[in-house]
Homo-oligomer: A and B are copies of this chain.
Amino acid sequence: MRLSRYFLPVLKETPSEAQIASHRLMLRAGMIKQATAGIYSWLPLGFKVLRKLENIVHEEQVRAGHVPMLMPTLQSADLWRESGRYDDYGAEMLRITDRHGRDMLYGPTNEELITDIFRAHVGSYKDLPLTLYHIQWKFRDEVRPRFGVMRGREFFMKDGYNFDLTKEDALHAYNRHMVSYLRTYERMGLQAIPMRADSGPIGGDDTHEFLVLAETGESEVFYDSVITDLKLGERVVDYDSRAECEAIVTEWTTPYARTDETHDKATFNAIPEDRRRSSRGIEVGQIFYFGTKYSEPMGATVQGPDGKPVPVHMGSHGIGVSRLVGAIIEASHDEKGIIWPEGVTPFHAGIVNLKQGDSEADAACEALYASLTALGLEPLYDDRDERAGGKFATMDLIGLPWRITVGPRGLKNGVVELTSRRTGESEELPPEAAVEKLAQIYAGHVLRPAF
């Protein structure tokens, strides 16, 4: 993308309404604009990151064998009356009346709707196991929306639902979700720690939240430092293998890690003192096993092997996709701006032309642009006629992990400058070598246009 043709309205001033770094930086970097309280437009740069996260979530869910679909944003109130949650949900549910006076609502979650689909179409245990998921906009009428997309009212979320014949099968689904979530967060450059949690309004027996450590997190968290050494890395997981999934879950849930809601001081104090950590965390996902809580009242049964109807064992599993954009920034920024991890960066590298209009510099930038594009990488070329200082400040603010600086002086010596946003370190090298280095850096990443 050429910046002269893009829409990147960066702000020089820090907006006064923003209390936390991610909110400030998303506004300043031209990623979002508030439409009304707690509701945002995603400007091109923000949309691109959101879409990248969405793609990663899809890829990892499909890899785990889960099936994508899409439920609507608006739902009929009838199903929620059937499950008994219509009255329970309170003022956070946005209730709507249509032109015929029918009660509707903007879905805050989809247990009822997916259970309705299941009971209409699935009749036999032979159709199980089944996990369906979607990524869709949801609404929660927060009384005091704040922190930008971290606590908005209209938010983008992945929610998945497993349907299984037995509790054991459903616990395998639970484990499969935990593993796929760990991989999802790792690909986003995040360390998200699973912590035993409270089940809240969804209900259920087993539940873990995934928390990203960040000073601005809403939860207080306590953990054994050994958990932060764990990585899936290049491990290939067979999601059909119960033993494999269970082993990973055991590995991640054995070290102590709890939010203040479930914190147990005695157990925590039994950890060697040098490994005890307390911090704050941002919740970026949660998984639940809730058994037959919805299938029983809503009659979601299958014919079991003995011909008798069995209510299915279910769980629901969510990742806050729009919230993750904020969480990643909270975890990765400095005083100059955002620092995107390579897995989620909206553009793979910035190209800064120090002397726009200089025929040699222009040609070198165009050649770099073409070479990177040919590799499937997406460069952002600042081709505006601006001062170098302004171009650098914009690149630092929007946080592309790599910057190539091209100027007449370097070109005389046959070199350009490749700079890491994270370390600030630069090296001079021939343009082809800079391209080659970026190709290596992104070799392990899925390259796909993220509209």
Contacts and interface: CB of A to CB of B under 8 A. Distances in A.
Interface string A68-93: 11111111101000000000000110
A309 interface: no
B96 A70 contact: no
B94 A69 contact: no
A439 interface: no
A226 interface: no
Stoichiometry, copies per complex: 2
A6 B129 CA distance: 10
Query: Which of A7, A72, A134: most chain B Cβ within 10 A?
Result: A72
A36 B76 contact: yes
Interface string A1-35: 00001110100000000000000000000100101
Given A36-B76, A40-B72, A117-B41, A91 B96 contact: no
Given A69-B47, A96-B96, A141-B98, A75 B36 contact: yes
A268 to B, nearest CB: 38
A218 B65 CA distance: 41
B44 A68 contact: yes
10 tightest A-B CB contacts, nearest first: A9-B121, A58-B451, A36-B76, A42-B70, A47-B70, A41-B71, A68-B451, A47-B69, A99-B141, A39-B72
A62 interface: yes
Contacts of A106: 74, 96
A67 interface: yes
A383 interface: no
A7 B91 contact: no
A73 B137 contact: yes
A130 interface: yes
A284 interface: no
Interface of A: 5-7, 9, 30, 33, 35-37, 39-44, 46-48, 50, 55, 58-59, 62, 65, 67-76, 78, 91-92, 94, 96, 98-99, 102, 104, 106, 113, 116-117, 120-122, 130, 132, 134, 137, 139, 141, 143, 153-154, 448-449, 451
A55 B58 CA distance: 15
Contacts of A449: 58-59, 62
Contacts of A153: 74
Contact of A42 (B35, B46, B58, B69): B69
9 contacts: A6-B67, A7-B69, A9-B122, A36-B76, A36-B104, A39-B72, A42-B71, A46-B69, A98-B141
A70 B41 contact: yes
A137 to B, nearest CB: 6
Contacts of A98: 94, 141
